[in-house]
Structure 1
Amino acid sequence: MPKFISKAPANSMLLGEHSVVYGYPALACALDQWIEIEWQARDDQALLIFSSLAQQSTTLSALECHPKLQFIGQACKAFQTQLLAQNHGWELRVKSQFSATIGLGSSAAVLAATLVGLNHITDAHYSKFELWEIGKAIIVDIQGRGSATDLAAALFGGVVYFQPPTADQRLKIDVLSINMDILLVYCGYKTPTAEVLASVAEHWQTQPEALQSLYQQMGAITKTAHQALSNQNLPIFYDSFRHYQCLLETLGVSDITLDFLVEQLRACPLVWATKISGSGLGDCVLAIGEVYSKHRPQQVSNALTEYCAESEILCNYQQIQLPISPLGTHIHSLTESH
């Protein structure tokens, strides 16, 4: 019976938090740590899922979703007709190289790996754009809202410029192959995104025009950063992060701990740009190292916190540094090296 692995990378938003929900563009990236799903065909109609989060046994004809495995379950439901036509079941084993604590887009990576695996086993031949559409519907069904920028980064790899579809804009996903390191520093706590959005709505309820202006500025900065990165105009690209962080502070989502970490990282000589990552009021601060090119390749990967004036303070915070992965979600057999 067939046996193979689908893999999807960790991912992180670079620019576009908050504004992307309202139709403005975002920049996100795939990172070189992976979610793997091992697929083994079975000679019955069962669907077995093994994960560190939960284990589930169900059938393809009466497919049920475990509350901790909703992204896998809903993806299987989207392919249920094709799966039933195969007249056999599947066993899925999910393995992750990274924890869900630091914001590495684990849900998007699991969903991407599942969708690409299902696309493969059913010979559906969906493009990655079509898989994104299916995945976006699943995210909205589970979470109530979501731009699915992280799903685009996981599917396509590299640095992704993501323009969400709106009434007057088509979906655009432009992929750049960029070589740089990303550092994420976890502040020690998180505020659920829904609570952050509710806080923003309450704070700005009497100033809707000013809030809309903030989102427009965020969108403009993200566009500028994408153009600068495409043209290797790196000073403008780096400076876009400083501008975006200022807008997030104005929005009210960069609290005292995040402000402190941003300032500490700005003082590090190997950090070229930094800002909060995610919706804010907790979670992570993101820092980027120098962008390299084929004309000036990276010689060695140093810790971005090396030579920081207060490196012992930063050591107290959970952190991870990863290079950008040029590869997005993909399939390979178990006989290949991985």
Structure 2
Amino acid sequence: MRIACAPGKVILSGEHAVVYGAPALALAVDRHMRVFYEPDRLPRLSWHAQERTHVLGLDKFAALRRRLDSHFERYLRGELSITDILKKPAELAFYAVDMARLVSGLDAIPRGSVKIDSDIPIGAGMGSSAALIAALLKLFGHIDSDDELVRQVHHCERLQHGRGSLIDAATVCLGGLVRLRDGEYSRQTLSETGLGEGWFWVFTGTPAASTGACVEQVRRGFEHSSIWSEFSELTTRFETALSEGQPLCELVRANHHLLSRLGVVPAPLQRFAEQVEQHGGAAKIAGAGSVSGDSGGLMLVWLPEGTPAQLNMPYDWHWGELKEDSQGVRLLDDQG
């Protein structure tokens, strides 16, 4: 059995704005997507996830890839919405497996069984799709260059997120702290203490609107807005504060208020952020948020003392300490 593992990610600053050329900072975190591959002789690849099994014959992969590429071109022309490209999530996995073969110059599609084990919340803005794709490309491809791996993860991910940025792909591939601006990414160094004490992630539930839908609605309302220069200045200040060990509370608060202006912070998250601020802390969405419903995916939270459990939080929200994953995608085992 062969196993690949990729971390999740949390955007510290710059979500949405990064699509418009502003900088963004993201941190790989110790929530992981693990993909297990057991080869066999049957002429198909089976995909096991969430108590469901999907099977695709080896002779069907090329047709699936062509159909999804064609659908994406129709999306770019405005003929399809982003949610019309994939019929089911397993198609993204099969597409990534075939891309691993193509970019690696391999002749055969792998036969066997693929299973996943993930503690990255789906639809939370923690990069679950990018982590899955990165793990599959690492498992089934031979891509030695980090830059090429990031590019291919982003290429596959476009089927789900449309015109999204490289931030998810770069962070899950490289690990640690990653900065992105104008399509150029670089790995940054955190101090030995990292972000410091009191940092948490809070998952508020899977958003009603997909990341792609949020990106599109923000584009329609703010594509030519001056708000992106405000985001840019704020993220630059955030990066300076991280490198110099300065407090980040006020910067997180300011980021939250900018995101609220975009309309991507649902009302329950607004109320929770206000509660955190009343306790001397700061909170913001860490991802696309949502343009509908009461759930907004992930929030980044800093508290001067205590934990989110001591706040008045909806019963179905859950949280964890924010810890860094410094490695990025990797193979855990190779026994054949």
TM, length-normalised to structure 1: 0.77
Q: What displacement does 1:285 show?
A: 5.5
State how far apart, in whole Å, the 1-side matches of 2:296 and 2:240 are: 28
State how far apart, in whole Å, the 2-side matches of 1:68 and 1:53 are: 13
Where 1:62 maps in the other structure, the secondary structure is: helix
Q: What displacement does 1:53 show?
A: 6.6
1:157 corresponds in structure 2 to 175
Matches within 5 A, 1:111-130: 111-119=133-141, 124-130=142-148
Q: What displacement does 1:133 show?
A: 0.4
Q: What displacement does 1:246 show?
A: 2.1
Match of 1:226 among 221, 224, 239: 239
1:252 corresponds in structure 2 to 263
Q: What displacement does 1:186 show?
A: 0.6
2:155 corresponds in structure 1 to 137
**Distance 1:71-1:83 versus aligned 2 partners, 3 A rule:** farther
Say what the alpha-carbon RMSD is for the aligned residues: 3.0
**Distance 1:241-1:179 versus aligned 2 partners, 3 A rule:** closer
Q: What displacement does 1:132 show?
A: 0.8
Q: Is it true that 1:95 corresponds to 2:93 in the alignment?
A: no
Show CA shifts across 1:50-108 (max 9, x none).
22274222344431477221332121121334575358624211111244254432212
1:321 corresponds in structure 2 to 320
Where 1:75 maps in the other structure, the secondary structure is: helix
What are the ranges of 5 or more consecutive residues in structure 1 without an aligned counterpart? 166-170, 292-301
* Deviates most, 133-142 or 184-193: 184-193
State how far apart, in whole Å, the 2-side matches of 1:238 and 1:60 are: 52
State how far apart, in whole Å, the 1-side matches of 2:267 and 2:160 are: 32
1:37 corresponds in structure 2 to 35
Show CA shifts across 1:173-202 (max 9, x none).
223343554322416853334444454455
Where 1:314 maps in the other structure, the secondary structure is: coil
Contact 1:53–1:69 (Cα < 8 Å) also in 2: no
* Deviates most, 9-18 or 314-323: 314-323
Contact 1:5–1:39 (Cα < 8 Å) also in 2: yes
**Distance 1:219-1:97 versus aligned 2 partners, 3 A rule:** same
Contact 2:218–2:262 (Cα < 8 Å) also in 1: yes
Match of 2:107 among 85, 90, 105: 85
State how far apart, in whole Å, the 1-side matches of 2:256 and 2:46 are: 44
Show CA shifts across 1:20-59 (max 9, x none).
1112221112221211111223345532222227422234
List structure 1 runs of 4+ shifted beyond 6 angstroms.
none
State how far apart, in whole Å, the 2-side matches of 1:261 and 1:318 are: 11
Q: What displacement does 1:267 show?
A: 2.9
State how far apart, in whole Å, the 1-side matches of 2:217 and 2:110 are: 49
Contact 1:158–1:327 (Cα < 8 Å) also in 2: yes
Q: Is it true that 1:304 corresponds to 2:307 in the alignment?
A: yes
Q: What displacement does 1:286 show?
A: 2.0
Q: What displacement does 1:220 show?
A: 2.0
1:296 corresponds in structure 2 to none
**Distance 1:263-1:22 versus aligned 2 partners, 3 A rule:** same
Q: Is it true that 1:277 corresponds to 2:286 in the alignment?
A: yes
Percent identical residues: 22
Q: What displacement does 1:158 show?
A: 1.8
1:267 corresponds in structure 2 to 278
Amino acid at match of 2:332: H
Contact 1:262–1:276 (Cα < 8 Å) also in 2: no
What are the ranges of 5 or more consecutive residues in structure 2 without an aligned counterpart? 66-86
Q: What displacement does 1:137 show?
A: 1.4
2:75 corresponds in structure 1 to none
**Distance 1:62-1:231 versus aligned 2 partners, 3 A rule:** same
State how far apart, in whole Å, the 1-side matches of 2:212 and 2:143 are: 35
Contact 1:45–1:87 (Cα < 8 Å) also in 2: no
